[in-house]
């Protein structure tokens, strides 16, 4: 999200969280936006036109040089010329303020369905990414890597996110519904099979014997917990 109005980025953050997104970055000027994009990449970009250091119309072509992300202009500039300029500079969609944040969420989902980009999972990145050491395995969130006995191991995206969530709260028991809501962003009783399948995928990677786990433990009748390790 690139908008100099912090109230707007916070409103969007609240709405997108409720809609199941779990990884969101916000910039309030063009300079910071390019730095964040270079560091983290993006699947969707919400771009305001009136930024303090340059216009969104000037920024959009620079984004296009380094990213194929879907760009949705989100701006108070509503003239026909502005809309045409938005598309001419590389935008994929154009929404004028005031807007319904649920409409923005719906447009994002539609864009993701049409493209080959995986669904975004979003969170404001306020905390420094860390490295979690559990002896046999290490989860390096800064590098996005799972290391088991010194070797990098491929891990499916949702299994990685589930393991990362557990690594952040070692020793704490989470029910299946809590895990489902935290990782998949869906409220309610959750999908037991989905959680169980991904727990199995994690165990197949971090345990010597997935059927007799030492790290990712089942707490009968309660849920799952990750045995404590070291946070570096």
pLDDT digits (tens, 9 = 90+) for 36-92: 988 888 989 999 999 999 999 999 999 988 888 889 999 998 888 898 898 889 888
Closest residue by Cα to residue 107 from 50, 25, 46: 46
**CA-CA distance, 82 to 61, in Å (whole number)?**
15
Tell me which of 1.10.10.10, 2.40.50.140, 3.30.70.20, 3.90.230.10 is the CATH number of domain 131-231.
1.10.10.10
Domain ranges of the chain: 6-114, 131-231
Inter-CA distances, 98 with 9, 118, 165, Å: 13, 29, 35
What is the pTM assigned to this prediction? 0.51
Backbone angles phi, psi at 158, to 5 degrees: -75, -35
Q: Do domains 6-114 and 131-231 have the same CATH topology?
A: no
Confidence of residue 121 (pLDDT cuts 50, 70, 90): very low
Please give the CATH number for the structural domain made up of 6-114: 3.40.50.2300
Confidence of residue 149 (pLDDT cuts 50, 70, 90): very high
């Amino acid at each position: 999200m690139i908008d100099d109005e912090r109230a707007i980025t916070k409103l969007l953050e609240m709405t997108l969280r409720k809609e199941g997104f779990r990884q969101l970055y916000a910039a309030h000027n063009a300079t910071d936006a390019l730095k964040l994009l270079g560091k983290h990449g993006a699947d969707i970009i919400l771009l305001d036109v009136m930024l303090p250091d340059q216009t969104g119309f000037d920024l959009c072509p620079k984004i296009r040089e380094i990213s194929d992300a879907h760009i949705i202009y989100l701006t108070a500039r509503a003239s026909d010329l502005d809309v045409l300029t938005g598309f001419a500079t590389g935008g994929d969609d154009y929404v004028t303020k005031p807007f319904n944040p649920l409409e923005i969420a719906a447009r994002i989902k539609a864009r993701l369905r049409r493209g080959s980009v995986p669904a975004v999972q979003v969170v404001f990145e306020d905390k420094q990414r860390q490295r979690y050491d559990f002896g046999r395995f290490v989860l390096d969130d800064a590098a996005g890597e799972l290391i088991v006995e010194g070797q990098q191991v491929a891990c499916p995206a949702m299994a990685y996110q589930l393991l990362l969530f557990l690594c952040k709260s070692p020793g704490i028991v989470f029910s299946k519904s809590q895990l489902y809501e935290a990782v998949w962003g869906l409220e309610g009783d959750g999908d037991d099979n989905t959680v169980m399948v991904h727990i199995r995928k994690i165990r197949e990677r971090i345990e010597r014997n997935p059927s007799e786990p030492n790290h990712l433990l089942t707490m009968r009748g309660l849920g799952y917990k990750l045995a404590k390790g070291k946070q570096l």
